[in-house]
Structure 1
Amino acid sequence: MKITRTLTSAAALAAAAALGFAASAVAEPAAINGTFAVKGGDDGAVVTAASSCNPVVNGCTANLTSTVGWTSVATFTNGKWNFTVTKPDGIVCDNGSYAPVRIAYSVDAATMTGTITADSNGDCPGGQITQVPFQLTKIG
C-alpha cells in the first residue's frame, strides 16, 4: 500500500510540475515597442511603436507612427494588436471624385503577422473590401 501511495504522490507531483511548466511556457503577450518594417500592404514602410503597458493586458494601447505619413493608436485585445488608419484620398470613385479608405490592421502579438482589411464602401458607391496578409519585422 505504501508503494501505491508513493506512486500516486509522485504522479501528482509530476502532474503539478507539468502544469507549472505549461503555465510558464505560455509567455505574456509582447508589448509592441520598437521599429518595424512592414511586409505586405504598405511594403517598404517603417512603423515606430511605443507602449507603456507592463504586463500587456486587454485594453493596453500603443502609439504608432509610420514613415508613409500615418499615425494611429493600437489596442491590444485577445492576443492581437488592432488599429485603423484612414487615407483621406485613398481611392478614386467611378465619378472621378476621391474618397477616404479606412484600413484596419490586426496583428498577432506572438508572431507579428496579421491581416490588413481595406474598406472603401462607405465613401465611394460601389467601393470594395479587400483583405491581405502582412507582417511586421522588428528592425530596431
Structure 2
Amino acid sequence: MTLITRAVSAGFGMVAAAGLALSVGAGAAYADPPLLNGNFAGGDAENLWTIASTCAPAGCTGTVSSNQGWSSPMTLHDGRWYFFVTKPDGFVCSDGSFAPAVIHMAIDPVTLGGVLSADSNGACPGGITSATPFQLKQV
C-alpha cells in the first residue's frame, strides 16, 4: 500500500510539474503585445511626447501628442508602433521655399528606438525624402 501511495503521489507531482511547464511556456508564447504609455523625450528635451496605448481583441491602438502642438493616432503592426504627422513647413527646399512634410514614425516599444521617415511628396523641386533613427527616453 505504501508503494502504491508513493507511486500515485509521484505521478501527480510529474503531472503538476508538466502542467506548470506548459503554462509557463504558454505564457511566453502568448504574451501581451507591448504597450507604449507615458511621457517621452527624444534627442532634445524640447520635444516631449505623451503616449497612451491599449490593446483589445480587434487590435492595438493609441495616441501620441507633442508639446509642439500636434497629436496623432497610432497603431501596432509587427511589434512596432506607427503614426504620422504632417508639418506644413517641414522642409526647406533648395530654392529657400518651405514645403509640407509628411513624417512617418515607427517605434519599437521594447528598446524605444525608432525611425523617422519624411517625404516632401514632391512639393520641393526634385522631392526630398529622409530617414533618421532616434531614441526615446521615458521622462
Q: Please give the range of the TM-score, normalised by the shorter of the 2 chains.
A: 0.7 to 0.9
Structure 1 counterpart of 2:74:
74
RMSD over aligned Cα, in angstroms? 2.9
| Larger relative contact order (Cα-Cα within 8 Å, sequence gap ≥ 6) | 1
Structure 2 counterpart of 1:86:
86
Whole-angstrom distance in 1 between the partners of 2:122 and 2:58: 29
Gap regions ≥5 residues in structure 1:
1-9
Cα distance, 1:23–1:65 mapped onto 2, change above 3 Å: same
Deviations along 1:31-64, one digit per CA (max 9) or x if unpaired, are 222111113xxx321100123x2x4667422111
Normalised by the length of structure 1, the TM-score is 0.72
Gap regions ≥5 residues in structure 2:
1-13
Structure 1 residue 99 corresponds to structure 2 residue 99:
yes
Whole-angstrom distance in 1 between the partners of 2:106 and 2:133: 10
Cα distance, 1:58–1:138 mapped onto 2, change above 3 Å: farther
**Larger of the two Rg values belongs to structure:** 2
71-80 or 121-130, which moves further after superposition?
121-130
Q: 8 Å contact 2:102–2:121 — kept in the other structure?
A: no
Structure 1 residue 35 corresponds to structure 2 residue 39:
yes
Aligned partner of residue 26 in structure 2, secondary structure: helix
